[in-house]
Chains A and B, each alone.
Chain A
Amino acid sequence: MTTEVTQARRAEAPVGASADVHVRFRGVAKRFGGVEALKPIDLDVRRGEVLAIVGDNGAGKSTLIKVLTGVHPADTGTIEIDGQMVKVDHPDVAKAHGIETIYQDLALVPTFDLGTNFFLGRELRKRLFGVIPVLDVERMRREAIAVIQDRVGLAITNPYTPAAVMSGGQRQAVAIGRALYADAKLVIMDEPTAALGVEEQEKVLAIIDRLKAQGVTVIVISHNLEHVFRSCDRIVVMHNGHKLAERDRATSTRAEIVGLIMGSDIRQEA
């Protein structure tokens, strides 16, 4: 497998909506002290696709994501979002461009309930007696319940339960609902199915399908190749901080991806 083949496949991709580039990375790199966590990388994320990023631990998957979300701004290189050069140096910048992240730990505050977790960082407020600004706790709760029930499809039995004592599925639902509510154009999911029971894994895969059907671009970091091949359109393999390969799901196999993750194609790539 050579790079030219990948390039050829890319050229063959149908022109139109799927060829529309949502996010374009050019020479993006990041180092932490002496460690080159992300070597200069070029990558196009197409609008409306479900893109899987796979690779071994420490391959640079999370760093690539954090560079895009502004958690760890890139040292060098450029990021274009919707054809526009964007300096993503803070999570707010990514959010302002419709990029929402569902982290592996779901980024919930264990002592907060549904509503306050849902609106963390963008709380709804009202004015008491027209002057005193107060959080609109009731409205946050109501809207969170509505979004989770209608769009994520999970019924809320007790909206006052703190996240620490919610079930794994409920926590996922809150995190995903939060992204949907923010009107995300691109949702990043970090190991969304890890640490979940089989039934809950199915729910998450269904949600990914649902996001795609709504035209949302999805980037999924996953170790689970079964899930990757079920829900993703394209697969990017990371190895040692650089992009080793890009494959279309339709024309690749699990065996090939496993081989790439193990780094068996390094020599040919070089």
Chain B
Amino acid sequence: MTQKAVPMPVNPAAKTPLRFGFLQRNPGLRAPLGLVVPLLLLAVIISLVNPVFLDARNLFNVFRQISIFLVLGTGMTVVMAARGIDLSVGSNVALSACVSALVLKSGLDAGTAVPLAVLAGIGVGALVGLVNGTFVTVFKVPPLIVTLGTLTAVRGAAYLVMGPNQLRNFPDAFSFIGQGRVFGLPMAGIIAVGVVLFGAYLMNRTRFGAYVLAVGGNRSAAIRAGIRVGRFEMLAYVFSGAMAGLAGIMLASRLDAAQAVLGAMMELHAIAVVVLGGTLLFGGFATLLGTFLGAAFLGVAENGLLLMRVPFYWQQVVIGLTLVVAVAIQLARFRRQGMTTE
């Protein structure tokens, strides 16, 4: 005769302490995990087609390449959390790179010129963000229109300050930002990871992040809670602009050159990376781990296309379609959870 399981006496008090898994407690970490399997799958496929992919030098390059998307993506994550969008980041990369190059080549000695160039690049970027933020928050122009306008205007400004020329051969201290290594790791990657971690801190553990998310998630509730929504929306654009400035510096440093054509289409990359990662296009929810994985996914995909000798123009097709598909998936998920986009 088999022993029957004796039902345990239910102690109601024992049911009260609620236990939740780590991922249940951190939805920001859970949401983007769906990207891990596709990322690994992609890596396996690429390395089967071309084993060079797993080469340390290639992976190093991928890391350096995505570092710029990570910096731009962090800024974009903050703007999108506030239900905004920043299409001007690509042009802003060019303007910031050109302005810092002009400072570097202004005849100042390297000791002064390099820190000044970094400050000028980030400052110009932030200034563009301030213009975006002003039109969005003060004049209430939809962010899509404002930043579409500055996408063009800032590109024009880059040509105005730089002309058709290219500046090259920057001081070593400047080149270190985009090309240097620390303990064998690319400096650009270290900066990028630092920026992502800072972004994660901002969005998850500061009042600034909570307010930016509240503006995106329910603007009127934020207003009624006494939050000065305009200020935080403005700061989101300034942050995104400053990150575009930093990305411009990193790019100019890596290329050891600056010209007005830099950064074209980068806004699309940045947006794709963020949406792919699971940050909501309609604001209120942001995940920097998602942005990190999204950047890794797009970087690996682009590298794969390169290694598989797919013509360059296909990359654009892939990035464009990835963005649209990522949004479609996000919307489907959204509806399944019973949420609306309003």
A-B interface contact total, Cβ < 8 Å: 84
A165 nearest CB across to chain B (Å)? 6
Q: Write the nearest CB–CB distance from A57 to chain B, whole angstroms.
A: 19
Chain A binding surface, main DSSP class: loop
> Among A107, A158, A160, which residue has its beta carbon within 8 angstroms of that of B220?
A107
> Provided the pairs A90-B226, A112-B214, A164-B338 are in contact, do residues A120 and B221 lie with their beta carbons within 8 angstroms?
yes
Tell whether A95 is near chain B: CB-to-CB under 8 Å. Answer: yes
- Chain A residues near B201 (CB-CB < 8 A): 134
A134 & B206 in contact (Cβ 8 Å cutoff) = yes
In which size bucket is the chain B interface?
A: 20 to 34
Q: Is there an interface contact between A135 and B338, defined as CB atoms closer than 8 Å?
A: no
A91-B224, A107-B218, A109-B222 given; A123·B338 CB < 8 A: no
Inter-chain CA distance A160–B71, complex, in Å, is 29
Question: Can you list, as one digit per residue, whether each of B19-32 has a CB less than 8 Å from chain A (1) or not (0)?
Answer: 01000110100000
Docked complex: B1-51 residues within 8 A CB-CB of A? 18, 20, 24-25, 27
Which label, helix, strand, loop or mixed, suits the secondary structure of the B interface?
helix
Contacts of B205 in A (CB 8 A): 134-135, 137
Is A210 positioned at the interface, with any CB of B under 8 Å from its CB? Answer: no
With both beta carbons as reference points, the residue of chain B lying nearest to A113 in the complex is identified as B27
Q: How far is the CB of A119 from chain B (nearest CB, A)?
A: 9
User: Contact at B223–A71, with CB atoms within 8 Å?
Assistant: yes
Docked pose: A38 CA to B204 CA in angstroms: 42
Chain A positions 208-262 with a Cβ under 8 Å from a chain B Cβ: none
Q: A58 interface residue, CB < 8 Å from B?
A: no
Tell me, rounded to whole Å, the shortest Cβ–Cβ distance linking B232 to chain A.
12
Given the interface pairs A109-B218, A111-B213, A111-B217, the reply to whether A164 lies near B339 with Cβ below 8 Å is yes
- Most chain-B Cβ atoms within 10 A of its Cβ — which of A103, A110, A135, A137? A110
Using Cβ atoms and an 8 Å threshold, which residues of chain B touch A108?
218, 221
The A-contacting residues of B in range 180-227, CB under 8 angstroms, are: 201, 204-207, 210, 213-214, 217-218, 220-227
One of A157, A159, A165 near B337 (C-beta < 8 A): A165
Residues of B within 8 A of A125 (CB): 207
Count contacts on A: residues with CB < 8 A to the other chain: 33
Picked from A69, A91, A110, the residue with its CB within 8 Å of the CB of B217 is A110
User: Quick one: which of A101, A110, A133 contacts B218, CB cutoff 8 A?
Assistant: A110
State how many angstroms separate the Cβ of A64 from the closest Cβ of chain B.
Answer: 16
For window 80-110 of A, CB contacts with B under 8 Å fall at 90-92, 95, 101, 103, 105, 107-110
Please tell me if A193 contacts chain B, counting CB pairs below 8 Å. no
- When distances are taken between beta carbons in the complex, the residues of chain A under 8 Å from B25 are 160
- Tell me the bound Cα distance from A239 to B341 in angstroms: 35
A63: chain B residues within 8 A (beta carbon): none
Q: Residue A34 at the B interface, CB < 8 A?
A: no
Contacts of A71 in B (CB 8 A): 223-224
Partner of A121, one of B20, B24, B225, B339: B225
Give the docked Cα–Cα distance between A105 and B220 (Å).
10
Interface pair A165/B221, CB less than 8 Å apart: no
**A141–chain B nearest beta-carbon distance, Å:** 9
Q: A117-134, CB under 8 A of B: which get 1 and which 0? A: 000111101000000011
CB atoms of A109 and B207 under 8 A apart:
no
Chain A residues whose C-beta falls within 8 Å of the C-beta of B222 in the assembled complex: 109, 120-121
Q: Is there an interface contact between A135 and B210, defined as CB atoms closer than 8 Å?
A: yes
On chain A, the residues within 8 Å of B20 by CB distance are: 158, 160
Tell me if B297 is interfacial: C-beta within 8 Å of chain A: no
A159-B218 contact in complex given A111-B213, A112-B213, C-beta closer than 8 Å:
no
Cross-chain contact B207 with A123 (CB below 8 angstroms):
yes
Which single member of B18, B218, B223, B337 contacts A158 (CB below 8 Å)?
A: B18
- Residue numbers in A under 8 Å from B339 (CB-CB): 110, 164-165
Please determine whether B217 and A112 come into contact, CB atoms closer than 8 angstroms: yes
Question: Which B residues are CB-close (under 8 A) to A156?
Answer: 18
Tell me if A116 counts as interface (CB < 8 A to partner B). yes
User: In the complex the two chains form, is A91's CB within 8 Å of B226's CB?
Assistant: yes
User: Is B76's CB within 8 Å of the partner chain A?
Assistant: no
List residues of chain A with CB within 8 A of the CB of B27.
160, 162
Roughly how many angstroms separate A162 CA and B207 CA in the complex, as a whole number? 18
B218 / chain A contacts, CB cutoff of 8 Å = 107-110
Q: Tell me whether B207 and A135 are in contact (CB under 8 A).
A: yes
B299 within 8 Å of A (CB atoms): no
Taken residue by residue from 151 to 167, chain B's Cβ proximity to chain A (1 for < 8 Å, 0 otherwise) reads as: 00000000000000000
- Listed in ascending order, the chain B residues whose CB lies under 8 Å from chain A are 18, 20, 24-25, 27, 201, 204-207, 210, 213-214, 217-218, 220-227, 280, 284-285, 337-339
7 pairs across A/B with beta carbons < 8 Å?
A105-B220, A109-B284, A111-B217, A111-B280, A112-B214, A120-B210, A120-B221
Using a CB–CB cutoff of 8 Å, the interface residues on chain A facing chain B are 69, 71, 90-92, 95, 101, 103, 105, 107-112, 116, 120-123, 125, 133-135, 137, 156-160, 162, 164-165
